[in-house]
Structure 1
């Protein structure tokens, strides 16, 4: 049975939805069910697509045979493609899309601004600096991922510390965003300098390709490394997602409901930064996911984060998985994911703005 505080909060969220004019689908359970079915269909379809096509019956035969330890009745090449290339890549796309969408939705709720994306505080540009320095110094894939992840965290930490010093330890969302823009631009400039100094025949092409984003070199060890920060970031956000609603009511009302807004903001920033930095560290720069997916979810289920955050994760994982399917099947050469998400994301974002121009979404 819900307590009185939870019921009051739900009523306020419903009131905000109607007041802001957010048009949502009436039967949300059906909509969520359809999204889950679509995600499952894209997930299964992704295994069969590629330059080395594996029909669905053959796919099921391989998976069941390996699970039950049956004698192999399938080509060894199909097994290698499936387990060494396709499965790691599919799970990477699913997890990265989920991470970027969740962090984008959390940041939009934190800053009460639907124009916010996961790189607002400099996580992406910081991770980019770490990666390009690692490439320049020939660190290798593991070293590059660690450098990217650490520098992403450092960039956001700098943003938070500088804003706290300038704001004299007072919570200021506007100041945090402004400092984030400054830090992000500084780190972007460092990336440009690094590209300028890089060997044009060897290092520069690697840096350029990484910055465009992609999953072509993902393997099982990358997924295992990614799961640690992914879990540490996503679980707290899911557990406190209902409190993100409270932040939209303002600090005074949040305090009357017993919520420490400063602590809540810090938790959201840490979790979202871990998700963003971890995603960028293994996939490179993939834009627009964290910006447009929460908009789509908000149109479907409304701005109540108890439902919005999980739905954003479902849509984000499916969206990036589908885009990755196009990236590896459209042309003979693989198209970088960052290019495709920009081509798809920009027009889609304009459409969403026109569709929901009367609302905060």
Structure 2
């Protein structure tokens, strides 16, 4: 099969190789997916660059997300799964075989049916970004009637979080850093969009909520935004955070959070327990069925141009997901 892999961490142009590798064979409990699309996420490029630590495996086919068709199954898997369109998750999580290849074998539960009206490129965006967004929105139950603040509302996770929260009946406020990103957040369904570069976030949120604040924050930058989050979170509110790059070791204002009975929820989508994984899969399926889930794709390149895909994600210049098409 054609694949992309690396055997040492470093810059994409130096360590990514494109060529032939043996076709994988599904083991008991596994399916083999003939991939048509592979999603490239920031965590994928950070792992390849060594920012997540040294390699623990002798080689790595990168990328955890992808979509394609099951073409073979191992013992213990129903034969009628062959021919099923699927998207996959956690393909490269603590495994050598990710989705930057024509085939991947992985546990059968990690291949989720993909509706016929959803293309493979969209399916390749349903793992890390969509599942993170869904868990950030729904981890504590339904949000109908709540006010949800999504920070970084034009990011891959943020945009989907807006779509899901709006679909679920919440009033959605989003923060962004510019006019182009504001347009993305509005199009995703945000009722109010705040440009934090030229507006005071606390004042704008309180004005949008008639002074009531928000029930839930889907947070891309926990530490960097904490000073603004604290005055706008309601008593009993939830901060659901999946990032804190600007301030990775924030000082926690324990008593102000405690006296508001705030829940601080940290999210790592790779480690969702089975019940949580089932919940987000169900919510994503329901949203797709109603046309409410529309991941934005900013760039598509062929497998042999994986270096370009990684560099595009690293640049931070794109608004949307990067997808590799696999012939």
User: What's the TM-score, normalizing by structure 1?
Assistant: 0.27
More strand by share: 2
Greater percentage in helix: 1
Q: TM-score if structure 2 supplies the norm length?
A: 0.29
